[in-house]
């Protein structure tokens, strides 16, 4: 099993582990493999070897960092296990134009006020995939957001009604450029006004912020399946088995590179 989620400009860092039967109880320490050989290639040319860090329980490159526009392959071998590998590409950062905050722009079906955040992206003429997350300034990590935008994945038919029980999680605003490839995309997200109230602590004043990721297609599909799995767990009587497919050959997991931009909410 291989998992690595690397930001553009960051050093390569991955977790390598073994899988167990679902009815087997093991401690976390037993899931990690510490004696693997891990190599990363850039455009099919060897780039670096990753060494195991005991404290982080991760394999970390000495110097190699992920760059946009490059193709990366990681190969992992360990005694007693089949060699696994995964390939991914370094995406370019999202081209943001503006972020606009409109207070009390609309209400939920129950009459509660909602603020709107409008994000504008200049989408390149190629297949692109995005993930946007809205973060509160301090404390609250998980909350409802709403959108009418049909490009956003999930049950937008229910989301249009702005009902409290039919919402997206703030970290699961997932969309592709299938309907706006090569043009300027404006995405409107609505949330409780309390999310945007600044908070202070010993480190200073903190504001809500948006983080928009440019991701690869394989991670887009992987993340979409995770959302579907979470929904099926919430409604078990209506669910069907969901198979989470990664991009690791001869194994399980996900190796992907992403780029991101962060914007504080005005």
User: What's the pTM value of the predicted model, to 2 decimals?
Assistant: 0.87
Tokens encoding 264 = 């504080």
Q: Are residues 193 and 145 in the same domain?
A: yes
Q: What is the pLDDT of residue 77?
A: 96
Q: What is the pLDDT of residue 237?
A: 47
Residue 250 belongs to a domain: no
Q: What is the pLDDT of residue 231?
A: 55
221 Cβ neighbours under 8 A, 6+ residues apart: 245
Q: What is the pLDDT of residue 139?
A: 72
Q: What is the pLDDT of residue 191?
A: 95
* Total number of domains constituting the chain: 2
Residue 253 belongs to a domain: no
Tokens encoding 176 = 């592709």
Q: What is the pLDDT of residue 235?
A: 47
Residue 42 belongs to a domain: yes
Residue 251 belongs to a domain: no
Q: Are residues 160 and 224 in the same domain?
A: yes
Q: Are residues 231 and 122 in the same domain?
A: yes
Q: Pick from 44, 59, 89: which residue ends a domain? A: 89
Q: Are residues 84 and 159 in the same domain?
A: no
Q: What is the pLDDT of residue 195?
A: 94
Q: What is the pLDDT of residue 28?
A: 60
Q: What is the pLDDT of residue 187?
A: 96
Q: Which residues of the chain have pLDDT under 70?
A: 19-30, 155-165, 229-244
Q: What is the pLDDT of residue 156?
A: 45
């Amino acid at each position: 099993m291989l998992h690595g989620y690397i930001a553009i400009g960051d050093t390569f860092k991955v977790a390598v582990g073994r899988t167990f039967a679902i009815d087997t109880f093991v401690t976390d320490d037993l899931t990690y493999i510490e004696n693997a050989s891990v190599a990363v290639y850039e455009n099919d040319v060897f780039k670096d070897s990753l060494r195991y860090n005991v404290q982080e329980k991760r394999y970390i490159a000495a110097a190699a960092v992920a760059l946009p526009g490059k193709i990366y392959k990681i190969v992992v071998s360990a005694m007693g296990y089949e060699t696994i590998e995964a390939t991914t590409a370094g995406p370019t950062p999202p081209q943001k134009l503006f972020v606009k905050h409109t207070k009390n722009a609309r209400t939920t079906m129950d009459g509660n006020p909602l603020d709107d955040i409008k994000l504008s992206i200049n989408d390149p003429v190629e297949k692109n995939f995005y993930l946007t997350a809205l973060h509160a300034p301090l404390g609250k990590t998980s909350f409802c957001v709403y959108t009418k935008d049909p490009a956003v994945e999930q049950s937008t038919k229910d989301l249009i009604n702005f009902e409290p029980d039919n919402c997206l999680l703030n970290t699961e605003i997932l969309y592709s450029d299938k309907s706006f490839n090569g043009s300027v995309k404006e995405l409107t997200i609505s949330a409780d006004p309390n999310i945007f109230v600044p908070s202070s602590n010993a480190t200073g004043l903190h504001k809500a912020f948006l983080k928009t990721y440019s991701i690869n297609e394989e991670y887009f599909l992987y993340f979409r399946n995770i959302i579907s799995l979470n929904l099926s767990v919430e409604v078990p009587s209506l669910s069907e088995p969901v198979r989470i497919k990664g991009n690791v050959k001869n194994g399980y997991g996900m190796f992907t590179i992403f780029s991101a931009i962060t914007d504080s909410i005005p």
